Amino acid sequence: MSTNIVFIGLGNMGLPMAQNLVRAGHAVTGFDLLPASVRQFADGGGLVSDDQAAAIGQADIVITMLPASRHVLGAYLGDAGILAQARPGTLLIDCSTISTEAARQVGRAAQDKGMPMLDAPVSGGTAGATNGTLTFMVGGEEAALAAARPYLDVMGKAIFHAGGSGCGQTVKICNNMLLGILMIGTSEAIRLGVANGLDPKVVSDVMAKSSGRNWTLEVYNPCPGVAENVPASRGYTGGFGVDLMLKDLGLAVESALASGASVPLGALSRNLYSLHSKAGAGALDFSSIYQLLGEKA
């Protein structure tokens, strides 16, 4: 049965996620600040509207995929926000990666308005978004997750209930901190092999069958030419941007300070990605940290 869905944020991740909902037979109205993204969504069968408030007011579900905490707070709160436009009972799902506190703030406001809300950040990258194989890390009430599950199943292959409001964001912050650390470590190891005259593909293949095995090495190799269909082999375009990784590592450090946790490698990774961004690489894929560690192989 078709469900009336509003999807706000048709970026590298949001667009394919929304398109998968369209392919599943749902009536999805998409919104984005970039007209080109909206046109691409419409070309794939999505609905478009000039009246976002009216679309939200008629929606059964509102899904957001936005860059940062300030965008989510701005989208949901205030007199012109989603909470002011949606009907009581509308299911709200935020798939952005934001701070735990921002997620809880919006969640509390939604609860006060009688709207069930989930923070449901994702892992799996643009390929996972396109193929409908994302992992969802969900915070919120069990009943809201049960209502959302049929739609999350369209966009992902694994759904984990992390706990109450904000817990999905906490898990995502932990995951992406580890991802950033692993990408730097993988890049360093390949660089070391290359500096000693080894073929980077041989180094990668050996480590992929050894104790250094990890996702960045096998699925998202940072060295150009080692793997096909990864950002490193197309000039580090597409994928997950350096500035987005920098944002997530910043969230991890902030969370550590707030909770008293120790994250020395997370903090160092944030500093390295900050240097990389300031050198002009902010829009490149985060695997381009390989470039910061030496000349191209």
Please report the sign of the dihedral spanned by the C-alpha atoms of residue 89, residue 95, residue 100, residue 105. Answer: negative
Q: 240 CB contacts (<8 Å, ≥6 apart)?
A: 12, 125, 126, 285, 286
HSE of 80, CA atoms in CB hemisphere, 13 A: 3
Q: How far apart are the first and last CA of the chain?
A: 52
Catalytic residue, candidates 113, 157, 172, 209: 172
Looking up tokens 């997530």 gives 248
Q: Is 172 a catalytic residue?
A: yes
Looking up tokens 């008629």 gives 58
Looking up tokens 């509308």 gives 90
The two tokens of residue 120 are 């449901």
Are 102 and 121 within 8 A, CB to CB?
Answer: no
The C-alpha R_g of the chain, in whole angstroms, comes to 20
Question: What are the distances in angstroms from CA 71 to CA 6, 126, 160, 292?
Answer: 17, 20, 25, 30
Amino acid 31 reads F
Continuous H helices in the chain:
14-23, 35-43, 52-58, 69-76, 82-85, 100-112, 125-131, 142-155, 167-195, 200-208, 215-218, 242-259, 264-276, 289-292
Residues annotated as part of the active site: 172
